[in-house]
């Protein structure tokens, strides 16, 4: 039954990939000369791609928080695994910051490019400066940006300290940071969302898994002051406190 579910979901996802590839390509062509309109429609359809993906994979989540982030917010969350992308993408309209390696993955790199993903290569300081400028530009365009400041996926036992460099984009743009705690409820440590093995094995496990439940905690926004280190520390403490309270 497990592998039958894998085949059904894989075929469904191929159909979704083709559909949103065509939609994304059309949006890029139609609004080639209007970056504002292109950004608006790409973020709109990216959210629908994420919602449909959650439905196919049976990712069920509850959102806890009185207010959604304002447009132009820097949304920072803990990172457990690939389901984070689908779930947070279904919750918020915005653009993801992703590790540079994804640009080499077949199929995923096409969707990431069409979704105007910002690729990060933190190993090179010059590229970090460029990354900060790109995020700042999106924020100043009233587009929210979603990122995982831990810098890597964890097994879900705790939250790693947030890296401060990218927070400079919110400081320079004078935009708020919205901490988000993402908690999975599969009873496993590490959770099924964690990809400690190969990415292929991880994806097969997700496709076979009948149900994955999660809670998304939207925490109070933090105004960007002049100190990126303080901003990273405050958002980290807020996410970690909520996350550990709910384990």
Report the C-alpha gap between 156 and 182 in whole angstroms.
10
Residues 6 or more apart whose CB falls under 8 angstroms from that of 208 comprise 2, 3, 5, 6
- According to DSSP, residue 149 is labeled T
Strand 212-218 to strand 177-184: parallel, antiparallel, or no bridges (unpaired)? antiparallel
Could you tell me the pTM of the whole model? 0.92
pLDDT tens digits for range 62-108? 999 878 899 999 999 999 988 999 999 999 999 999 876 666 666 66
Domains along the chain with CATH numbers: 2-245 (3.40.1130)
Report the C-alpha gap between 72 and 141 in whole angstroms.
7
pLDDT tens digits for range 14-58? 999 899 999 999 999 999 999 889 999 999 999 999 999 999 999
- Assess contact for 177 and 213: CB atoms under 8 A: no
pLDDT of residue 100: 66
Report the C-alpha gap between 47 and 91 in whole angstroms.
7
pLDDT tens digits for range 195-213? 877 778 888 888 999 999 9
pLDDT tens digits for range 98-140? 876 666 666 667 788 888 988 877 666 677 888 999 999 999 9
175 burial (CB, 10 Å; 0-12 / 13-18 / 19+) is: buried
Tokens of residue 181, six digits:
């705690």
Report the C-alpha gap between 36 and 212 in whole angstroms.
35
């Amino acid at each position: 039954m497990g592998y039958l579910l894998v085949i059904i979901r894989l075929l469904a996802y191929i159909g979704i990939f083709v559909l949103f590839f065509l939609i994304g390509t059309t949006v890029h062509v139609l609004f080639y000369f209007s970056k504002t309109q292109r950004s608006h429609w790409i973020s709109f359809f990216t959210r629908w791609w994420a919602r449909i993906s959650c439905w196919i994979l049976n990712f069920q989540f509850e959102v806890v928080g009185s207010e959604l982030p304002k447009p132009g917010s820097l949304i920072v969350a803990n990172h457990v695994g690939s389901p984070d992308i689908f779930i947070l993408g279904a919750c918020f309209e915005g653009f993801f910051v992703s590790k540079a390696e994804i640009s080499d993955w077949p199929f995923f790199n096409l969707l990431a490019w069409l979704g105007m993903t910002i690729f990060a290569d933190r190993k090179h300081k010059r590229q970090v400066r460029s990354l900060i400028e790109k995020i700042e530009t999106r924020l100043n365009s009233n587009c929210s940006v979603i990122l995982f400041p831990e810098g890597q996926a964890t097994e879900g036992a705790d939250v790693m300290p947030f890296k401060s460099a990218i927070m400079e984009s919110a400081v320079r743009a004078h935009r708020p940071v919205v901490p988000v705690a993402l908690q999975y409820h599969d009873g496993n440590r590490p959770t099924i969302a964690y990809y400690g093995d190969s990415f292929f094995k991880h994806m097969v496990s997700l496709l076979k898994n009948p149900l994955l439940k999660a809670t998304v905690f939207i925490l109070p926004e933090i105004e960007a002051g002049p100190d990126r280190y303080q901003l990273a520390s405050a958002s980290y403490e807020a996410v970690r406190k909520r996350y550990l309270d709910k384990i």
